[in-house]
Structure 1
Amino acid sequence: MTTHALPSPDAAAPDDPAQLLEVFKALANPVRLQLLQWLREPERHFPVEEGIADPDEVGVCVSHIQAKTGLAQSTVSAYMASLQRAGLVRATRVGKWTHYRRDEQRIAQLVDVLGRSL
């Protein structure tokens, strides 16, 4: 099994107003918000036994996210790309599959910035 971290977009500083706007836009969609919540505890929400990689290490495969949401693969991919642009998740390729996991460090930075600026 070969894993490759996908290049992440140039992440602006968490306190950059444009970056905060990306976060708010990503979280304004109820499905994207639910996805981020599910990814907080991947073993609880996704079929770990069917996964080809450790969900804590590399994340959850798009196909498992698609199955849980019942949405089209293209919709799930677009939602995950939005969360990635906002700096909330990281993508990793495992073979031909893309896996996503939360970026806990980045989320903590954003929570800190929000606590100090709002």
Structure 2
Amino acid sequence: MTTHETSMTESAAALVEPLKALAHPVRLQVLQWLRVPEEHFPVNEVGVCVSHIQAKTGLAQSTVSAYMAVLERAGLVRSARVGKWTHYRRDEERIARLIEQIGRDIGDIDLVEPAHP
């Protein structure tokens, strides 16, 4: 394997966890809600309480906690404990780097749909 191929493999490996985390519709929806949290949740300076995310999804607390752990391991959200509650916010810096990496590794993504003849 050439150095270039090794580099691409390592780079591609860095995409796997975030893309797997985003592949689940509920996790993707939560990340979208957290983009503008004040439109969807009561927000404080720490972030959005997991109980509010749980209430909005209608899922069990344990399920939501597991989903948020996946997003956190993927580097897409950060958590902070306040008493017995965990609060979440998006990691905008990591998300921006991920978008840049996707552009480099996969190619420019045309966000405008091509015209169909």
User: Which bin holds the TM-score, normalised by the shorter protein?
Assistant: 0.7 to 0.9
1:105 counterpart residue number: 93
Mapped to 2, the partners of 1:99 and 1:16 lie a distance apart of 30
Structure 1 segments of 4+ aligned residues over 6 angstroms from their partners: none
Q: Distance in 2 between matches of 1:74 and 1:19?
A: 27
Name the residue aligned to 1:10.
none
Q: 1:75 aligns with which of 47, 63, 85?
A: 63
Q: How does 1:13-92 map to 2 (within 5 A)?
A: 16-48=11-43, 54=44, 57-92=45-80
Aligned amino acid, residue 48 of structure 2: V
Percent identity over paired residues:
75
Contact 2:11 2:105 in 1 (8 A): no
Q: Which has the higher helix share?
A: 2
Q: Which has the larger radius of gyration?
A: 2
Flag the structure with more relative contact order, 1 or 2, with Cα contacts below 8 A and sequence separation at least 6: 1
| Equivalent residue pairs, number | 97
Contact residue 19 and residue 86 of structure 1 kept, 8 A: no
Shift of 1:58: 1.6
For the residues of structure 1 that align with 2:62 and 2:32, how far apart are their CA atoms?
20
* TM-score in terms of structure 2 length: 0.79
Partner of 2:115: none
Deviations 1:37-61 (A, max 9, x none): 000011000134xxxxx2xx42100
**Unmatched tracts of structure 2, length 5 or more:** 1-9, 107-117
